[in-house]
Chain A
């Protein structure tokens, strides 16, 4: 005698959804809580290291968009001194070819992903804005030497030892849910 057709299936389903009430939400409350993204992401905005850059211009040739503006002059010992290194991030397609082409490891992709601006002028990034700062970190894309400095990607479900969390039966309050999840 099969009981599936007497509403037992419905009762099972109702019990299942009832269990969900006691699980912690898997959604991330975005501006308050942030997950750390993949270390090798091709994030927004290049990161430029002025001390390594020789001004050779390989990146400008590699750029599909012709998007990197590089102006240099001859300094002492006939080395190039970079006057202007500009990137219009509104036209950048984040292909990463400039980073891959750089022979001196002077460019890296950024780790940032929150780059909305109020005007198009702000999208054009100068030397100063492209240098490393606290909110402008390089990602490990094509630069594996940065791998160790960067936090692990936090996947909620699986990476429990590395900061992810168990999903079942967690309390709801944000304090107990821990950072980044």
Chain B
């Protein structure tokens, strides 16, 4: 029973009409989630700028407000005041719709992210499938932006985004199936409740595949080919300014927040944790995941296109299939009480598999480079 259902029950016993019983909790919940997302996105922007500058032995923005926390707000005001430019060669309608098409699906993901025990907007029984389905829509938005801009750089970026997103969707979904096998459910709440041991220990290989795949899904470094500043200027949002650009910018960090939340839910036992309240545990874990993402951005150079594609198809996909097979066998053979045996077994198998598969992993011309 989620908090939303309890709210509905309270209103029903208070004698509200049916439509109000249905609508009021939904609107309140949606508002809370939108406010939460926008606040955390602002904190994320600040946190990324501060942390990446520490990785680069700088201090980062520290003027505006205490420790520079108001800097993203100042940036947001600056962006809002800018002129909204539509290029002459643009496909005006598509150029207009694209930012919304990118941003709205990202907000929709948060409907099934559990922030605490029962603190979820809708507990869908196909929650994680819903996430995969919805997050794919923003690819269309990105391609619309790329096509509608009438710019060759943004068009290259759009083509890259399609190739990248479609390729990395497959290993991501396959690694989720491994979790569904252990849990026996696609519901996000049930997945969290099933994690007496976090699934990062139970399925290290699955976590690795999902983490790298979702990095590519959210277009973060080292998979940020579609925004590669040094090659194609700014990629798909090259012709956007003002509020429309802000939508892309928010969407970029919104999807980072969404995927951090999903990684937390699927692999880091979600809101579960001792002492602190569940929501706080959730936020701490999300920040940890996001910090790891920033750490990767600070370290790794951008992949080439051929490296990107071969990493998805020749490395992640076979590993995901093997991982799925192994988890299926373990679930079938091992009795339910022996989860710690599964942990040790899976860590060993992951190490052996990565070593063996790396030997087979070649790029064009038989060169081995990773």
Evaluate whether A13 and B354 lie within 8 angstroms (CB atoms) in the complex, with A21-B54, A25-B58 already known: no
CB neighbours (8 Å) of B295 from chain A are: 14, 17-18
When chains A and B are docked, how far (Å) is the Cα of A9 from the Cα of B300? 10
Within 8 Å of chain B (Cβ to Cβ): is A116? no
For A20, the chain B residues whose CB sits under 8 A away are: 54-57, 298
Residues on A with beta carbons closer than 8 Å to the beta carbon of B56: 20
Q: How many residues of A contact B (CB 8 A)?
A: 18
* Interfacial residues of chain B within 17-55, with CB under 8 A of chain A in the complex: 53-55
For window 105-149 of chain A, which residues contact chain B by CB distance below 8 Å?
none
Contact with A along B55-67 (1 / 0, CB 8 A): 1111100100000
Q: A14-B295, A17-B295 are in contact. Are A6 and B58 (CB under 8 A)?
A: no
Q: Does A166 contact B (CB under 8 A)?
A: no
B359, closest chain A residue (CB):
A5
Query: How near does chain A come to B300, taking the closest CB pair, in angstroms?
Result: 7
B53 contacts across to A, CB distance below 8 A: 25
Decide if B358 is an interface residue (CB 8 Å cutoff).
yes
In the assembled complex, the Cα of A26 lies from the Cα of B355 at a distance in Å of 39
Tell me whether A17 and B59 are in contact in the complex, defined as CB-CB below 8 angstroms, given that A5-B368, A6-B354, A6-B355 are known contacts: no
Alpha-carbon separation in the docked complex, A7 to B354 (Å): 9
* Binary CB contact string for chain B from 355 to 370 against chain A (1 if under 8 A, 0 otherwise): 1001001000000111
User: Which chain B residue shows the least CB distance to A12?
Assistant: B299
Q: Which B311-327 residues sit within 8 Å CB-CB of chain A? A: none
Are A7 and B299 touching (Cβ within 8 A)?
no
Interface residues of B, count at CB 8 A: 20
A13 CA / B370 CA spacing, docked (Å): 13
Query: Hey, which chain A residues are within 8 Å of B55, CB to CB?
Result: 17, 20-21
> In the complex, what distance in Å separates the CA atom of A27 from the CA atom of B53?
10
Within 8 A of B (CB), among A45-62: none
Asked if A160 is at the interface of the complex by the 8 Å CB criterion, the answer is no
Pick the residue among B62, B298, B358, B361 that contacts A17 (CB under 8 A): B298
A23-B57 in contact (CB<8A): yes
Docked CA distance A18–B51 (Å): 11
**Which chain B positions have C-beta within 8 A of A21?**
54-55
Given contacts A17-B295, A18-B295, is CB(A5)–CB(B370) below 8 Å? yes
Min CB gap A31→B, angstroms: 10
- With A6-B354, A7-B354, A20-B54 in contact, do A13 and B299 touch (Cβ < 8 Å)? yes
Evaluate contact between A9 and B370: CB separation under 8 angstroms: yes
| Residues of A contacting B298 in the complex (Cβ-Cβ under 8 angstroms) | 17, 20
Is the beta-carbon distance between B57 and A25 smaller than 8 angstroms? yes
Query: Measured between alpha carbons, how far is A147 from B21 in the docked complex, in Å?
Result: 83
Cβ of A93 within 8 Å of any chain B Cβ, yes or no, is no
Give Cα A40 to B334, complex, Å.
Answer: 78
Residues of chain A contacted by B299 (CB below 8 angstroms): 10, 13-14, 16-17
A13 B300 Cβ-Cβ under 8 A: yes
B201 to chain A, nearest CB (A): 19
With A5-B358, A6-B355, A7-B370: A26-B57 Cβ-Cβ less than 8 Å: yes
Chain B residues near A18 (CB-CB < 8 A): 295
- CA A46 – CA B329 in complex, angstroms? 84
Residues of B within 8 A of A25 (CB): 53-54, 57-59
B50 to chain A, nearest CB (A): 11
Q: Determine if A36 is an interface residue (Cβ-Cβ < 8 Å).
A: no
- Shortest Cβ gap from A23 to chain B (Å): 5
Q: Does A65 contact B (CB under 8 A)?
A: no
A29 at the interface (CB under 8 A from B): yes
* A16 CA to B56 CA, complexed, in Å: 11
Q: Which residues on the B side are within 8 Å of A13 (C-beta)?
A: 299-300
Chain B residues lying within 8 Å of A17, measured Cβ to Cβ, are 55, 295, 298-299
List 5 other contacts, CB 8 Å, given A10-B300, A10-B370: A6-B355, A6-B370, A16-B299, A21-B55, A25-B54
Q: Which A residues are closer than 8 A to B by beta carbons? A: 5-7, 9-10, 13-14, 16-18, 20-21, 23-27, 29
* 8 A-B pairs (CB sep. < 8 Å): A5-B368, A5-B370, A18-B295, A20-B55, A21-B54, A25-B57, A27-B58, A27-B59
